[in-house]
């Protein structure tokens, strides 16, 4: 007990950094163990706000709510106010993603959550909320209980799969595209899942309408993707441009163009890439984090974004958050590599390679993982190593260079060693996360299951398969798999773990023009789940030498699927024709009317 008291007083003596901005009345403190210790010692509650540089309603909260004298007085008397930049803390961003942005979390000094609120709260309702919590600081609603038992198998149950397929259709807006709702967004996983089924008219209708809806979020002047639209249609976008949003939509446009060859999707790729280069690309080739929604913080910028380029420039440019994070760079580089494979635009690949090399040079940790920024307040975070794993895999697919595969293997090993949960499947979002213990999150485990499974097919390493299966056992537990209104990403991951990817191998020397053309055709293979290799025998055996290829006097390509391989293909055009023949036959994915 004496040791505990000593530790408490030591914590109280350590300085608490103030984040109070000029013109605000709240004395914001950093998220730290010392802040929680102070709350316990002074019998205060904690108000944790996750905000973002780009967030319009965060600016409005600063101007109105946190500048209200009554709210500020209540905060000073009863709360320790903590503010976190959600982009700087991917563990907290993932933990509270359903409550942003801004996200408002009220906790006690032990870290127990009492109230969680999403979005802007005006001064009067904020004051009522604070007063109510002070009077009754018991949790507003109990947290959902963890499953009493976890799935024994990483495979998705048939009944759960049927429910997920029905939800995919039920939540799709067939009139406008995207998800049904007042806040319009496109489900990128739903689009990818639908694209896997080129002979299914309903699936193609979903994919085409989603791609068309996503194109409406492209800034027609500067390019780049707005985050979402309000009002139940696509006419009222929120103008922030987040790095990870650019990546996710760029990847979706790449998959769409590879499968459907709609020139409008290729133009969306070009416009997104143009925006990234002009506004988010740093001089060293890495990428910044985001661009603000507002020209002036708190003022809606609809009139501004209706202007042309010159008029916008005359008024100024919304602020760019110049932090450079491994997570955003990994996601952007991965999407650029996918777009290169779909289009053949070498500039996309060049930018992907340069950004990835910068992260290897500046964010690589000694034991294989990645830090978030140049200096992190917590972590390491799963989000960074996971995003970079995806980038390294995409670059290996796009180039056939084994360097990227070796780096991917090192990153996967780091994830396995550092983020696995004890006595339960899945992986937590951080190591050393701070006052609140790290938790497993759905989307990170979903992305990890897919990336680790593909890595396994490239490497043949049982560790990589185990990594994927452990993440999937967390995801396929019915209570979690069905916990959201729609989750076609689980269907994608389940299909991939239950089947082999389309396996395309070019056997030929790297300086052979015919081998180059064959590899270019292999990259255009219209499915997202594929293993592409370029085997120059001078490099030694393939990393996962699970197929014996004959020695020929000229370059040839082979397509292997479900334990069988095609005859040698020497004509690049014939390789793409073969893709069309096989694509609809090999997928077990389906979309059916509920």
Q: Quick one: what percent of the chain has pLDDT higher than 90?
A: 80
Q: Judge whether residue 2 has pLDDT over 80.
A: no
Kindly report whether the peptide bond that precedes residue 102 is cis, defined as omega within 30 degrees of 0: yes
The pLDDT score that the predictor gives to residue 232 is 95
pLDDT tens-place string over residues 403-414: 999 999 999 999
Provide mean pLDDT across the span 418-430: 95
pLDDT tens-place string over residues 500-554: 999 999 999 999 999 999 999 999 999 999 999 999 999 999 999 999 999 999 9
Q: Judge whether residue 6 has pLDDT over 50.
A: no
Sign of CA dihedral 554, 559, 564, 566: negative
Cα radius of gyration rounded to whole Å, the chain: 25
Contact 79, 372 (CB under 8 A): no
Between the alpha carbon of residue 62 and those of residues 27, 57, 120, the distances in Å are: 12, 9, 10
Q: Judge whether residue 13 has pLDDT over 60.
A: no
* Element housing 164 (H / E): helix 158-170
The two three-digit tokens of residue 69, written as one number? 């004298």
- In this structure, which topology does domain 2-135 adopt according to CATH? Glutaredoxin (3.40.30)
Contact 66, 26 (CB under 8 A): yes
Phi-psi region of 239 (alpha: psi -120 to 50; beta: other; left: phi over 0): alpha
Q: Judge whether residue 16 has pLDDT over 80.
A: no
What phi and psi values does residue 148 have, to the nearest 5 degrees?
-70, -25
Instruction: Kindly report the three-state secondary structure assignment for every residue of 260-302.
Output: HCCHHHHHHHHHHHHHHHHHHECCCCCECCEECCCCCCCCCCH
Cβ atoms within 10 Å of 263's Cβ, excluding its own: 8
pLDDT tens-place string over residues 155-191: 999 999 999 999 999 999 999 999 999 999 999 999 9
User: What is the spatial distance between Cα 560 and Cα 567, in angstroms, rounded to a whole number?
Assistant: 10
pLDDT tens-place string over residues 565-592: 889 999 988 887 776 666 555 444 455 4
Q: Which residue has the tokens 């930018």?
A: 351
Interhelix angle 488-497/442-459, nearest 10 degrees: 20
Between the alpha carbon of residue 285 and those of residues 277, 338, 358, the distances in Å are: 9, 18, 7
Sign of CA dihedral 220, 224, 230, 233: positive
pLDDT tens-place string over residues 207-255: 999 999 999 999 999 999 999 999 999 999 999 999 999 999 999 999 9
Q: Which residue has the tokens 């947290």?
A: 143
The pLDDT score that the predictor gives to residue 362 is 98
Q: Judge whether residue 367 has pLDDT over 60.
A: yes
Provide mean pLDDT across the span 267-276: 98
Report the predicted TM-score, pTM, of the whole model to 2 decimal places.
0.92
Q: Judge whether residue 493 has pLDDT over 50.
A: yes
- In this structure, which topology does domain 502-586 adopt according to CATH? Glutaredoxin (3.40.30)
pLDDT tens-place string over residues 284-325: 999 999 999 999 988 889 999 999 999 999 999 999 999 999
User: What is the spatial distance between Cα 386 and Cα 395, in angstroms, rounded to a whole number?
Assistant: 14
Domain 2-135 and domain 502-586 have a common topology = yes
Domain ranges of the chain: 2-135, 183-280+290-323, 502-586
The pLDDT score that the predictor gives to residue 143 is 64
Q: How confident is the model at residue 148 (pLDDT cuts 50, 70, 90)?
A: low
* Element housing 417 (H / E): helix 402-419
């Amino acid at each position: 007990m004496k040791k505990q008291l000593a530790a408490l007083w030591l914590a109280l003596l350590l300085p608490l950094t103030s984040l109070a901005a000029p013109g605000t009345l709240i004395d914001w403190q950093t998220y730290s163990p010392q802040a929680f210790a102070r709350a316990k010692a002074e019998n205060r509650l904690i108000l944790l706000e996750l905000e973002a540089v780009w967030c319009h309603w965060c600016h409005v909260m600063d101007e109105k709510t946190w500048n209200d004298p009554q709210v500020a007085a209540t905060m000073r008397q009863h709360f320790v106010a903590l503010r976190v930049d959600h982009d700087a803390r991917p563990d907290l961003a993932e933990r509270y993603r359903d409550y942003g942005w801004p996200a408002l979390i009220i906790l006690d000094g032990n870290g127990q959550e009492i109230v969680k609120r999403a979005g802007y709260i005006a001064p009067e309702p904020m004051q009522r909320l604070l007063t109510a919590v002070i009077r009754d600081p018991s949790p507003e609603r109990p947290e959902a209980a963890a499953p009493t038992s976890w799935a024994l198998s990483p495979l998705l149950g048939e009944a759960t799969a049927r429910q997920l397929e029905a939800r995919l259709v039920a939540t799709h807006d067939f009139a406008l595209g995207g998800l049904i709702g007042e806040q319009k967004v496109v489900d990128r996983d739903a689009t990818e899942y639908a694209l896997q089924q080129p002979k299914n008219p309903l699936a193609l209708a979903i994919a085409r309408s989603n791609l068309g809806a996503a194109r409406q979020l492209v800034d027609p002047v500067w390019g780049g993707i707005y985050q979402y639209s309000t009002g139940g249609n696509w006419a009222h976008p929120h103008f922030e441009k987040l790095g990870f949003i650019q990546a996710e939509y760029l990847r979706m446009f790449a998959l769409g163009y590879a499968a459907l060859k709609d020139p409008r999707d290729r133009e969306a790729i070009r416009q997104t890439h143009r925006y990234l280069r002009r506004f988010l690309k740093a001089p060293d080739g890495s990428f910044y984090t985001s661009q603000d929604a507002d020209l002036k913080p708190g003022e809606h910028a609809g009139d501004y974004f209706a202007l042309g380029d010159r008029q916008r420039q005359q008024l100024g440019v919304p602020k760019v958050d110049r932090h450079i994070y491994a997570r955003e760079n990994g996601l952007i580089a991965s999407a650029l590599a996918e777009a290169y494979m779909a289009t053949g635009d070498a500039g996309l690949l060049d930018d992907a390679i340069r950004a990835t090399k910068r992260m290897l040079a500046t964010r690589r940790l000694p034991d294989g993982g990645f830090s978030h920024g140049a200096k992190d307040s917590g972590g390491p975070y799963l989000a960074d190593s996971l995003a970079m794993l995806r980038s390294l895999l995409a670059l290996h697919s796009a180039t056939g260079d084994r360097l990227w595969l070796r780096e991917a293997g090192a990153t996967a090993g780091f994830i396995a060693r550092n983020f696995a949960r004890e006595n339960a499947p899945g992986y937590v979002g951080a190591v050393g996360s701070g006052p609140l213990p790290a938790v497993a999150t759905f989307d990170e485990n979903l992305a990890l299951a897919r990336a680790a499974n593909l890595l396994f097919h490239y490497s043949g390493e049982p560790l990589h398969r185990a990594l994927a299966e452990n993440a999937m056992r967390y995801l396929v537990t019915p209570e979690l798999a069905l916990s959201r209104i729609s989750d076609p990403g689980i269907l994608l991951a389940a299909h991939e773990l239950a089947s082999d990817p389309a396996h395309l191998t070019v056997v030929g020397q790297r300086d052979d023009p015919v081998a180059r053309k064959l590899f270019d055709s292999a990259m255009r293979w219209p499915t997202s789940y594929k293993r592409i290799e370029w085997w120059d025998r001078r490099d030694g055996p393939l990393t996962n030498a699970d197929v014996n290829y004959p020695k020929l006097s000229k370059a040839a390509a082979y397509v292997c699927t479900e334990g069988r391989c095609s005859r040698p293909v020497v004509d690049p055009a014939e390789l793409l024709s073969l893709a069309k023949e096989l694509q609809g036959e090999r997928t077990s994915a389906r979309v059916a009317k509920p």
